[in-house]
Amino acid sequence: MLEKIYTFSKENVKNIEKLIDDDNLNINHMILPKDAGLPEHYSNSNVYMIVVRGTLSLQLENHDIHRYDAGHIVNIPYNTKMNVNNFYDEILEFFVVKSPNPKNYQEGGQ
């Protein structure tokens, strides 16, 4: 078998899971119920957030909070301050793709 298979949870409770962490990229899967969020942090690579369910509330730097519904892909540049939250009743589910993998970001000349 040439392909690798990865699975992710299908729960409705807060869950943050690292799916792939290899030399090429890093992929995380996140489920956030209403009023849950991530601690404020800075992006450690080029980040792509793929919203598959619910509404993502995202504040970058000191800008206003923007909403992104299922079907949106949001690209966040390296070293950007970010606040990620779910302020809505529906469960928020999204994937975070980081490329290059943060452990290789500086090595890649970025």
pLDDT at 108 over 50: no
Per-residue pLDDT of 32-72, as tens digits, reads 999 999 999 999 999 999 999 999 999 999 999 999 999 99
**Cβ-based neighbour number of residue 74 at 10 Å:** 16
Going by C-beta distance under 8 Å and a sequence separation of 6 or more, which residues neighbour residue 93? Answer: 29, 30, 31, 32, 51, 52, 53, 54
Class of residue 32 by CB neighbours under 10 A (exposed 0-12, middle 13-18, buried 19+): buried
Q: What is the pLDDT of residue 109?
A: 46
**Average pLDDT over all residues of the chain:** 93
Helix (H, G, I), strand (E, B) or coil at 51: strand
**What are the structural domains, with CATH classification, of the chain?**
15-104 (2.60.120.10)
Q: What is the pLDDT of residue 106?
A: 63
Q: What is the pLDDT of residue 20?
A: 94
pLDDT at 107 over 70: no
DSSP letter for each residue of 1-42: --S--------SS-EEEEEEESSS-EEEEEEE-TT-B---EE
**Which residue is listed with tokens 């509330």?**
57
Per-residue pLDDT of 63-95, as tens digits, reads 999 999 999 999 999 999 999 999 999 999 999
